Amino acid sequence: EDQVTQSPEALRLQEGESSSLNCSYTVSGLRGLFWYRQDPGKGPEFLFTLYSAGEEKEKERLKATLTKKESFLHITAPKPEDSATYLCAVRAGNTGKLIFGQGTTLQVKP
Amino acid sequence: ETGVTQTPRHLVMGMTNKKSLKCEQHLGHNAMYWYKQSAKKPLELMFVYNFKEQTENNSVPSRFSPECPNSSHLFLHLHTLQPEDSALYLCASSQGLAGNPDTQYFGPGTRLTVL
């Protein structure tokens, strides 16, 4: 069964304290791994798409990496405005169906 | 308007009411999606439309009825809902299912409360 597990569920950091979020997945025929950011009461905002093991993408303080079994979202020197829930999802097959993890809620304190 | 828009943003309805949610995408995409997001649960896919044709119904109860008149508009018609249907309903769009990896872009959502 296709499955996505994110850890930790919640993460509290001090401003400037770098860390990583994990997304482990089990899927047959990966056709993309996606990271989204979601603020309370809003829709998910697209961050990155990763497709091949070894691929890396960067945007400001965020860097996403992908292996055959997991993806990491590295946050370097976070700021309070990085506080949000970060969602990981995988696409398997041709149906367009995304399988989401539970998300990691990040709080960055000044 | 840009991106994916949804109306209304908030909706309160009784169990016997009939209402509709509307989604419009301004990205020139060909695929549209409805998701349900309940508290403490992962986003759950409900329906997928590709070039106006429904390609996925994720075992959704018949009290939820989707409609896709064209590639830019998607509706979710609601009737005789239950309190457990209260959730954030999200619409998304993507270039098309044949694309790889075909990134989905989400709207702001409709917060639905069923009394």
**Confidence bin at A30 (pLDDT 50/70/90):** confident
Report which residue type is found at B79: H
Residues on chain A touching B44 (C-beta within 8 angstroms): 100
Q: Do A98 and B100 touch (CB under 8 A)?
A: no
**Confidence bin at B102 (pLDDT 50/70/90):** confident
Residues on chain A touching B105 (C-beta within 8 angstroms): 46
- Per-residue pLDDT at B1 exceeds 70: no
Tokens of B37: 């997001």
Is the model more confident about B96 or about A67?
Answer: A67
- Percentage of chain B beyond pLDDT 90 is 78
Average pLDDT for residues B48-63, to the nearest whole number? Answer: 91
**Confidence bin at A86 (pLDDT 50/70/90):** very high
Instruction: Summarize pLDDT for B36-49 with one digit per residue, the tens.
Output: 999 889 999 999 99
Distance of CA A32 to the CA centre of its chain: 12
- Please report the number of interchain residue pairs, chain A to chain B, with beta-carbon separation below 8 angstroms: 72
Mean of pLDDT over chain A: 94
Instruction: Summarize pLDDT for A10-20 with one digit per residue, the tens.
Output: 999 999 999 99
Substitution target in A97, A99, A105 with the highest count of B β-carbons within 10 Å is: A97
Res A2: pLDDT: 85
**Confidence bin at A31 (pLDDT 50/70/90):** confident
Q: Do B101 and A91 touch (CB under 8 A)?
A: yes
CA angle B21, A42, B45 (to 5 degrees): 60
Average pLDDT for residues A71-92, to the nearest whole number? Answer: 96
DSSP string, A1-42: --EEEEE-SEEEEETT--EEEEEEEE-SSEEEEEEEEE-TTS
Alpha-carbon dihedral angle through residues B62, B68, B73, B75, given to the nearest 10 degrees: -10
Res B101: pLDDT: 67
Res B40: pLDDT: 81
Q: Does A29 touch chain B (CB under 8 A)?
A: no
Quick check: B75 and B64 in contact, CB under 8 A? no
Nearest CA in chain A to B109: A43
